[in-house]
Structure 1
Amino acid sequence: MRKILVFGNSGSGKSTLAKRLCQTEALAHLDLDTLAWQATMPPQRQPIEQSQAAINHFTDSHENWVIEGCYSDLLQLLLDKATEIVFMDLPIEQCINNAKNRPWEPHKYASPADQDANLDMLIQWIRQYENRQDSFSRQAHRMLYHRFSGIKQLKDSNDSTY
């Protein structure tokens, strides 16, 4: 049984690793971006209880899975279910480079142009990782990593090994 959490800064390679694990290990995949936000402008977080219900539905529906995201508040809810975790702790500049070169994410953006229009904001967000004091911060991710007592891996580069 494999139940993997992948987390880190935006642009760190969470989705790339999660998709690779899904292909090689036949795992179900959940990107927390798909359930963490309300469809409002400006975007607002979904109440945590609603996100948790959607997460529980996913984990109850799949024996083997990988869940990825930057939401330590949501990931914390899964620590007792996970068999392993991966903290994508890449340098800020590498995350920015990855963000600039990411393929279109149709589950997040209506078009490649919409995704590109969001790039400057995303780069600013990535740059704030070290200084933020919220559930998206490096500090919150480090605490999550240290709290987990199972199999864990800290990745500081985009090498292809898992």
Structure 2
Amino acid sequence: MARVVIFGNSGSGKSTLATRMAKESALAHLDLDTLAWEPVSPPVRRPVAQSCESIKHFMNNNKNWIIEGCYSDLLAFAMEGATKVIYLCLPIEHCVENAKSRPWEPHKYESKEAQDANLDMLIHWIRQYENRNDTFSKTPHEQLFSRFSGQKVRCISNDQIV
């Protein structure tokens, strides 16, 4: 049984790795961005309990899965059922470069142009990763990784991402 959780900073390669692993190993794939936010503008977080219900539904309906995201509050819930975690702890500038070269994410943006319009904001967000004190930041990610008692991998460069 394969139940994998991937997490890290924005731009660390979570979606790319999860998509590749899902295809290679026939894993159901859940990107937490798709359920963490209400479909309104400006964006508003869904209540954590509601998002956790969606995660629970996904995990109960798929024997083998991969869940990826940066939300430590949601990741903690998902990790209860995980057999492996992968923490993409890349240097900030690697994440920035990855963000600049990311392909269009149609499940998040209506066009590549709309995605690119948010690039400056995303780069600013990525650069704050080590200094922020929120559910998306490095400190809670480190805590999640250290608490997980199963198989775990920490990747610190793009070359290490398996």
Q: How many residues are aligned here?
A: 162
Cα deviations by residue, 1:93-146 (Å, 9 ceiling, x for unpaired): 000000000000000000011001000000000000000101100011000000
TM norm structure 2: 0.98
Partner secondary structure for residue 38 of structure 2? coil
Partner secondary structure for residue 124 of structure 2? helix
Give 1:161 deviation, angstroms: 5.0
Cα deviations by residue, 1:56-87 (Å, 9 ceiling, x for unpaired): 11101100000000000001012220000000
Structure 1 residue identity aligned to 2:55:
I
1:120-139 equivalence runs, <5 A? 120-139=120-139
State yes or no: 1:71 paired with 2:63.
no
Question: Which aligned runs of 4 or more in structure 1 are off by greater than 6 angstroms?
Answer: none
Distance 2:127 2:133 in 1: 13
Distance 1:160 1:94 in 2: 12
Distance 2:91 2:41 in 1: 31
Unaligned runs of 5+ in 2: none
| 1:149 counterpart residue number | 149
Unaligned runs of 5+ in 1: none
| 1:36 counterpart residue number | 36
Give 1:157 deviation, angstroms: 1.0
Distance 2:40 2:127 in 1: 25
Partner secondary structure for residue 104 of structure 1? coil
Contact 2:67 2:78 in 1 (8 A): no
Mean alpha-carbon deviation: is it higher for 152-161 or for 122-131?
Answer: 152-161
| 1:48 counterpart residue number | 48
Distance 2:160 2:73 in 1: 28
| 1:100 counterpart residue number | 100
| 2:88 counterpart residue number | 88
Partner secondary structure for residue 123 of structure 1? helix
TM norm structure 1: 0.98
Partner secondary structure for residue 53 of structure 1? helix
